[in-house]
Amino acid sequence: MDFASKHPAHGGAAVMGRRRVLAALGGIGLAALTAYSALGAATARAADAAAVANWPEKPVRLIVPYPAGGASDVVARLMAKELNAVWKQPVVVENRAGANGNIGAAITAKAAPDGYTLLLMDVSSLTNSPALYPDLNYSPTKDLAAITIVEYSPHLLVVRKDFPANNLDEMIAYAKAHPGKLNFGETQGSITHLGGIVLAKQAGIDINFIGYKGGAQIATDLVGGQIDMTLNSYLATHALVEGGKVKMLAVASPGKFPPIPDTPVLKDRFPDFVTGSWQGLLTTGGTPPAIVDKIYKDVAAIVARPDMQAKFAELGAVPVPGTPADFHKFLVEKTDFWTKVIKENHISVN
């Protein structure tokens, strides 16, 4: 029998006393811990505020993971000029092409997390790569910090100029009457390729996919009549439409596309069918949120200007500057969607 049992009054009081003391000490400890945590959070916020107040203090590198002259490069150089004026620091465009954009993206992912290395690229490369490249050495949604989507330019569904159909319904009817006879130009594993697969399934048609190294070759063969149809960017294709060299049947935008408001929208016929080129701006994962937010706000202010909107319109694009959180959610959702398409159709880049 222990002391408390033998002397219940004395032992019980002692135990209760000790419990009250421990409870009090625990309360003090909890209060101290809470205060310490609050102090730590306040200190972190102050450090972030101090870091962003003087940012940037040196030149900023803007990586484009494609060759010079393409859509991403054009947008990057346009934005670099404007950000240079706002930040009073050089913004240097650096082309690091290769592996569907993954070389430049990986460089950004492995850079110092301070916002001084930015990445501007077609978001489709980021959403396709995890499924297309099993040995990818970075995670687009974990090792990169989404800043904003700068602009969007839709794909156009176009056919050769002498194709025996002048609208979407006629094309589908012709394809069903000639199963397996239509040749669709694509770049293996690209959104053009994946979009073509989804379109064929939703339309219930059987078409052949002919692989190319890039959109320029696809356009050349479409004009020459070597292939029947493709999905290709507005920037690369609309001039051919205006010149009468190809026929445009529809646009793959979320709704009516302002530069071509009378063109039928594929989404109206096929739910959720939206493809095109989203040019996104990202930086290294782990960059302080205050710096990410500053870059986003500066970019959003630039693209909101009427003169910049006019410049994007000339490129066949519209500015769509969503928040970093919006962009991250978009990346995750599109990655899940295209991963499913790639796996269900056994697509590889080999």
* Strand-pair category, 144-160 with 276-284: antiparallel
pLDDT score for 188: 83
CA torsion through residues 65, 77, 230, 161, sign:
negative
* The two structure tokens encoding residue 335: 């990655």
Neighbouring CB atoms inside 10 A of 299's CB total 22
pLDDT score for 213: 78
* Strand-pair category, 60-64 with 91-95: parallel
Question: Between the CA of residue 249 and those of 142, 148, 174, 210, 239, what are the distances in Å?
Answer: 38, 31, 13, 20, 15
pLDDT score for 47: 62
Q: Which residues pair with 208 in a beta bridge?
A: 183
CA torsion through residues 267, 272, 275, 279, sign:
positive
Question: Between the CA of residue 257 and those of 71, 107, 132, what are the distances in Å?
Answer: 18, 35, 30
pLDDT per residue as tens digits for the range 42-72: 666 666 666 688 899 999 999 999 888 888 8
Low-confidence ranges of the chain (pLDDT < 50): 1-16, 21-25
- The b-or-e profile of 19-30 (16+ CB within 10 A means b, else e) is eeeeeeeeeeee
pLDDT score for 300: 97
Cα separation of 343 and 275, whole Å? Answer: 19
Cα separation of 12 and 155, whole Å? Answer: 80
H helix or E strand, kind and range, residue 16: helix 8-53
Residues 6+ positions from 141 with CB-CB distance below 8 Å = 328, 331, 332, 335
H helix or E strand, kind and range, residue 329: helix 324-344
Cα separation of 106 and 93, whole Å? Answer: 16
Cα separation of 229 and 246, whole Å? Answer: 9
Answering whether pTM is above 0.85, one says no
Please say whether the beta carbons of 94 and 102 come within 8 A.
no
pLDDT score for 68: 86
